[in-house]
Each structure stands twice: as structure tokens, then as C-alpha cells.
Amino acid sequence: MLELEHIDKHFNRGTPAEVRAIEGLDLTVKDGEFLVLIGFNGSGKTTLLNLISGTQTPDRGRVRIDGMDVTGLRDYQRSLWIARIFQDPLAGTAPDLSILDNFRLASLRTRPKSFRTAVDRRFRQRVKERLSVLHMGLEEKTDSLVGKLSGGQRQALTLLMAVMDRSRILLMDEPTAALDPKSSDLLIHMASSLITELGLTAILVTHDLRYAGTYGTRLVMMEGGKIRRDLDRNEKSSLTPGDLVSWFT
Amino acid sequence: MNFYLSAVILGLAYCGMGLGIYISLRIFNIPDITTDGSYTLGAAISASLLSSGHSIPVVLLVVLVCGGLSGMATGLIHTRMKIDPLLAGILVMTALYSVNLAVMGRSNIPLLNTPTVSGILPFPGTESSRWMGAMLLFTIALCVLIGWILKTDFGLAMRATGNSEQMVRANGVNTNRMKVIGLGLANALTATSGFLVCQYQGFTDINMGIGIVIFGLGAVMMGEAILSFTKLIATGFHLAAVILGCVLFRVIIGAALTLGINPNWLKLVTAVIVLGVVGLPGIKLRMR
């Protein structure tokens, strides 16, 4: 279970440019819950994900995972529990490494990086099987450099890499923002299937209200650094597309 | 002919530095100026310890450790104090000048009648062939070692750190620690070149490292330029290209000297060669 208690996060504190990104936020995400987070630009959605993943630390409040206080842990330490897909499709993979090497690194997320050379035939086969579900032909290009792939292909790889190891929380920060509609649909559908299949706890930040209405088991809307609306599965299912649009007008 | 043979031997002696610069520049994306100081540090420690009767293996060990510590100092200044790596390198390089002077006790130490790597290794033939054998052995050993490290999971995390820091941190790698270790490794390799070159030349001079980083950068880029004509992408080929770049660069400088260029202009010639290697692709693109 992921818990955020009384979180405050300000930027440029004490200056004329001070921004109150998050204010007194409380949020609990239960195991296996798929939370979709929507809101205006600047409402604090990405900051919230940064605070959960440890890229940023809160000015006040605590972050807990399974009851353990992780507020003081850095992002690379929180990767024991958390995997992340970034808005920039190029940010989640290393372009000068091969597809296989990227997957190898992802498979070691929760383990020490030792002096072993462990890309063997079995691992290669495992990666090929994972890649085949994309139907992009990447299973035949495992030795190709990731930098030669398209943004959509790289974002799909990032998703598969996110579920390679034992991380149980998946954070997705507008993962379709830079993708064409077909790639976006494929990615979100695949993410939803993997979340259900693996029983992951997930948070998806999106501006696409189609996805917000269709996917997830809970819908949260942020505004001005606070949670304005919080709908469970039943309340969410009774929403019409018009309801969602009206929240933004 | 002997002149070119000497250039090849010297080129091989510089391979440690070339590999060090490859690690800092190409793997971590950091132009590490510490090289100028750590190269001289390797030579200073070697000259000082060899002339006081220490054995070659002991000297090599001390050189590796001290070179590594100098690189780690740059890494710590960069990661802990959030100082630009270029400036961190300049600071450590400047500090190392005093350290090197303190180690040497004077500005120049001749190495006469002291043991050398070519003397302790059982290679037959003339002095040149013994040196060639010793340098080749060192070069192969360093390449195999670095090639192996880069193939391991640890090396994979190192390669990814300079490539996509955000991705690497999200995959559980402490990138600051990686940079400190990587710069330590790079400068340990560079110090090895100081260790070899001072023995081959027969002296250590406090100014021998000035501008040496330019030579290293040029050698790495020259190797990459050659590699770019092929479709080889494996790390082993990159390391081989660095070695080729080091040797080729020394041979070109050797050729410039045989053409009668005044040795006083050597640094200018070096800079022009590097400028040529770095700038030509851009000029070619503009002409298209």
C-alpha cells in the first residue's frame, strides 16, 4: 500500500516566484489499485509522481510504502518498489545500449549490479518472448541499439522493462503525450493488461479523458496542488464523457 | 624506421590514458581534465619510488591506487558539491601539480640504472623489441580488463549512467557513486601511462602532462572516426579503436617531426591534428 500524509511541496520558497505545487495532500493507494490522475497543467500531478518516486522530496509530510517510511530514500533506492514510465519516450531507455542490455539493466532494478556477465541464452529468450507481445518485430532485433527505434517503440520497451523485475508500483507520467494515437492506444491497453495480470499498484497521469474514463479502478482529479475529486470504481463507471469534460470548463 | 618503431611503442604506452579518456568522455560524458595531473602523478610516483629502489609491481600498485584516488577526488567534487565536472577536473589538475612536485622533490628526475618493465619481462631480442613486447602485454591486459568490466552488470550500469541518467536512476543505480568509481578507474588507467612513459623515456618531468589530455581526446576521436567507416558497435571494437587511435596519433606526430617540424611547435601540431579530426566531419556536412 502506498500512503502520502500531509504532503507539502513548494518551489522557490520565499521568493516572488514561489509556487505551491502540492499543499496538505493525503492519498492512500491500495495494493492492486489502478489510479488515474487528471488535472489542469500545473495542478501538481507530475510533482506528486516525483515525490512518490523520490526524484523530489517533500517540504513536509511522509511517504510510506507497505507501512515503511521511505520519505528520506532517494529515487534509485525507491526503485526497489517503484518502476516509472516518463513523459519523454526517450527518457526511459538508454539509446546507445542494445535492446538486450536495456532489458538486462531493468531486470536488475531491485538487485545489486555485480561483476557477473549474465546475458545468457535463457535471458535472451525471455526478452524475445516479452518483445513478441508488441508485434513490432523487435524480438529479431535484440542486439540493435535502442536509439534507432521510434518514440512509440521506445515507450513500449520502457513499459516492458518496468515489469521485468519485482517492482510492485508502476508510475506512468503522461506516457502517451509524445505518441501518435495508434501507438498511444496500444501502449495504454498493454499497460492496463499488465497491471491486471501482474496485480500491480499503478498511477497513470493523463490529459486524455478517453483513457481517464476507460481505464483504471479509481479516478482522481487535482487542482492547485490539492485533490478536488476522488471517485472509486463504481462512481467512475457511472461517469459520462461529458461529465469529465465539464470538470475542466 | 627506428623512429617509427619508437612512435608505435610510445603510442602503446599511451593506451592506458586513451582507455581512461574513453571511459570518462564516452561512457560518462565527462571531459575530464584531471588527466593532465594524473598522468604526471603516475610518472612522478614511478620515478620517485623506482629511484629509491622499490620493485616494479609495488610501484605499479601505488600508481594505480594514487591515480584512482585523484580521479575519485574529481568525481566527489563534481557529485557532492554539484560543481561542473570540467571545473572539478581543472581544480584537481591544478592541485596535483603541487602534489607531483612534492612527490618528486624537484622538477625533473632522470631514471638511469633503475629497473624497467622491459627489463623484468622475459622478452627476447633487441631493446626495442623487448619494449614493444612489454607495451603490447600491458595494452592487451588493460583492454581485456576494461572489456571484461564493461561486459559485466556493473559495467552495464556504468555505460548506461553516461547515456541516460534518468533511466539508470529509475533502475536502481546510484549514478553519483558510478561517476566517482568511473573517474577513479579512468585516472588509474591514465596514471599507468605515466608509469610506462617515464620508464621508456628514462625521465620524469613535472611539465610532461601539460596538454596530454588533448592528445588523449584526439586519439579517442581518431579511433572513433576510423570505426565509423565500419558497422562494428560492440564495446571490444571501441576499445581496439582507442588503441589504434593512440598509436596512429603518435605515428602522425612522429612523421611531423621527421618532416623537420621544430619540436617547439609540437603542441600546436597536436592541436591542429585534433582540430582536424573533430572539425572535418562538420566542414564536410556544410559543404554538402
Per-residue confidence band for B3, with pLDDT thresholds at 50, 70 and 90: confident
CA distances, A166 to each of A105, B73, B180 (Å): 13, 36, 28
Chain A interface, best mutation among B79, B144, B164, by max A CB count within 10 A: B164
Whether residue B166 and residue A118 make contact (CB cut-off 8 A), yes or no, is: no
Q: How far apart are CA A230 and CA B111, in angstroms?
A: 78
Q: What is the DSSP letter of A92?
A: T
- Residues on B contacting A at a C-beta cutoff of 8 Å: 148-149, 151-154, 156-157, 159-160, 163-164, 166-175, 233
Domain with B88 in it? 2-287
Chain B touched by A238 (CB under 8 Å): no
The cell 603518435 sits on which residue? B250
Chain B touched by A110 (CB under 8 Å): yes
Chain B touched by A104 (CB under 8 Å): yes
Chain A interface, best mutation among B27, B80, B167, B237, by max A CB count within 10 A: B167
Q: How far apart are CA A237 and CA A218, in angstroms?
A: 9
Long-range pairs for A62-65: beta carbons < 8 A, 24 or more residues apart: A62/A3, A62/A4, A62/A5, A62/A6, A62/A7, A63/A2, A63/A3, A63/A4, A63/A5, A63/A7, A64/A1, A64/A2, A64/A3, A64/A4, A64/A5, A65/A1, A65/A2, A65/A3, A65/A169
ipTM of the modeled complex: 0.88
pLDDT tens track for B44-82: 999 999 999 999 999 999 999 999 999 999 999 999 999
Share of chain A above pLDDT 70, in %: 100
Chain A: residue whose CA lies nearest to B166: A91
A–B interface: beta-carbon pairs under 8 A: 88
Which of A216-230, A235-249, B159-173 is the least confident region?
A235-249
Which of A99-103, B11-15, B126-130, B205-209 is the least confident region?
B126-130
pLDDT of residue B288: 67
- What is the value of pTM for the model shown? 0.90
- Residue A161's identity, in one-letter code, is M
Chain B: residue whose CA lies nearest to A77: B172
How many C-beta neighbours within 10 Å does residue B117 have? Answer: 23
Chain B touched by A166 (CB under 8 Å): no
Per DSSP, the residues of chain B read -HHHHHHHHHHHHTHHHHHHHIIIIIIS----THHHHHHHHHHHHHHHHHHTT--HHHHHHHHHHHHHHHHHHHHHHHHHS---HHHHHHHHHHHHHHHHHHHHSSSEEE--S---HHHHS---SSHHHHHHHHHHHHHHHHHHHHHHHHHSHHHHHHHHHHH-HHHHHHTT--HHHHHHHHHHHHHHHHHHHHHHHHHHHTEEETTTTTTHHHHHHHHHHHHHHHHTTS---SHHHHHHHHHHHHHHHHHHHHHHHHTT--GGGHHHHHHHHHHHHHHHHHHHHHH-
CA distances, B44 to each of A68, A112, A241 (Å): 52, 37, 74
CB contact burial A172-185 (16+ within 10 A = b; e otherwise): bbbbbbbbeeebbe
pLDDT tens track for A31-51: 999 999 999 998 999 999 999
pLDDT of residue A247: 83
Of A86, A93, A113, the CB nearest to B173: A113
Per-residue confidence band for A243, with pLDDT thresholds at 50, 70 and 90: confident
Whether residue A79 and residue B171 make contact (CB cut-off 8 A), yes or no, is: yes
Chain B touched by A39 (CB under 8 Å): no
Kindly list the residues from chain B whose CB atom is less than 8 angstroms away from the CB atom of residue A91: 164, 166-167
Q: Is the pLDDT of residue B5 over 80?
A: yes
Beta bridge partners of A19: A11
Contact B42, B274 (CB under 8 A): no
pLDDT of residue A137: 86
Q: Is the pLDDT of residue B259 over 90?
A: no
CA distance A143 to chain B (A): 10
Q: Which three cell numbers stand for residue B10?
A: 610510445
Question: Which CATH homologous superfamily contains domain A2-94+151-247?
Answer: P-loop containing nucleotide triphosphate hydrolases (3.40.50.300)
Contact A21, A203 (CB under 8 A): no
Whether residue A86 and residue B166 make contact (CB cut-off 8 A), yes or no, is: yes
Number of domains in chain B: 1
Chain B touched by A113 (CB under 8 Å): yes
Domain at B34, CATH number: 1.10.3470
Higher pLDDT, B193 or A18: B193
Per-residue confidence band for A16, with pLDDT thresholds at 50, 70 and 90: confident
What is the mean pLDDT of the segment spanning A62-85?
A: 94
Per-residue confidence band for B1, with pLDDT thresholds at 50, 70 and 90: low
H or E element, residue A84? strand A82-85
Share of chain B above pLDDT 90, in %: 73
Kindly list the residues from chain B whose CB atom is less than 8 angstroms away from the CB atom of residue A92: 166-167, 170
Of B148, B154, B160, the CB nearest to A97: B160
Chain B touched by A118 (CB under 8 Å): yes
- Residue B136's identity, in one-letter code, is L
What is the mean pLDDT of the segment spanning B268-279?
A: 82
Of A79, A91, A117, the CB nearest to B151: A117
Per-residue confidence band for A79, with pLDDT thresholds at 50, 70 and 90: very high
Q: Is the pLDDT of residue B278 over 80?
A: no
Sign of CA dihedral A234, A235, A241, A245: negative
Whether residue A108 and residue B169 make contact (CB cut-off 8 A), yes or no, is: no
Share of chain A above pLDDT 90, in %: 65
Contact A52, A203 (CB under 8 A): yes
Helix axes A151-162, A99-107, angle to 10 degrees: 30
H or E element, residue A19? strand A19-29
Per-residue confidence band for B212, with pLDDT thresholds at 50, 70 and 90: very high
Whether residue B170 and residue A84 make contact (CB cut-off 8 A), yes or no, is: yes
pLDDT of residue A165: 82
Whether residue A97 and residue B159 make contact (CB cut-off 8 A), yes or no, is: yes
